[in-house]
Amino acid sequence: MGRLANRIAIVTGGANGIGEGIALEFAAEGAGVAVVDLDFERAKSVAACIERQGAAALALQADVSNELSVASMVAATVQRFGGLHILINNAGIDPRYPCHEMSVGQWDHVQAVNLRSCFLCARAAFPHFRANGSGKIVNIASVTFWRGRPKNLVHYIASKGGIIGFTRALACDWGEFNIEVNAISPGAVETEREKQIATPEMLAELVAMQALPRRVLPRHNARTAVFLASSDSDTITGQTLNVDAGLAMH
């Protein structure tokens, strides 16, 4: 039996990168997984991969910044699996804009996708967690909040700081319902998205700043998420764990 046997999890942004890694790792640990993403074709591909490994999966397309879309996504998950025990708030975007050139619409869009989504998904999951008598929420923040860089990500870094504040406050508010709320703060993670925005020279410089001179992979974050979603972390709440090879050491 895996560490997440008989658990049902929603993973937002589950079609690639860290989210895909978490979805696959959760399935390997016995969870039924709803793979949620705007990219429905990619979400279906990840869900199919999970099913080929003998686990249960559901691909769902959702805009996690939209209240009705989130409600529909949670309802579809519960209808398919019969319950909900774990929520991974991973969906996020990081377009680059200099702050002095950024429009209000660009700022608001990043806050909506990165931060509002955590609130909407948690609120929609709450009735099911309360009915269970327990629940696990893991929010994906970023080591950029501790470092204030790279440049041209003021909106993104602000949203990730908001996620850490949201994690702490929600842990306090929902502790009475036996719901644990924690966050993971990834560092420079080797993903397809990273390849689009970082040169080999930039990555070499980042690795040189880490205490451990090796790349952080999606699976490293996924294994941390398994810990936080399992009974092994039942007395841990309101915390943010850096998974960054010692880049920030907060």
Instruction: Name the residues annotated as catalytic.
Output: 156
Give the count of alpha carbons within 13 A of 237, CB side only.
20
Distance of alpha carbon 155 from alpha carbon 103, whole angstroms: 11
From 224, 248, 246, 244, select the one nearest 236 (Cα to Cα): 224
Q: Using the 8-state DSSP alphabet, how is residue 232 labeled?
A: G
Dist. CA 50–CA 200, nearest whole Å: 32
CA distance 61 to 77: 12
Q: At 85, which amino acid appears? A: H
Strand 57-61 versus strand 32-37 pairing type: parallel
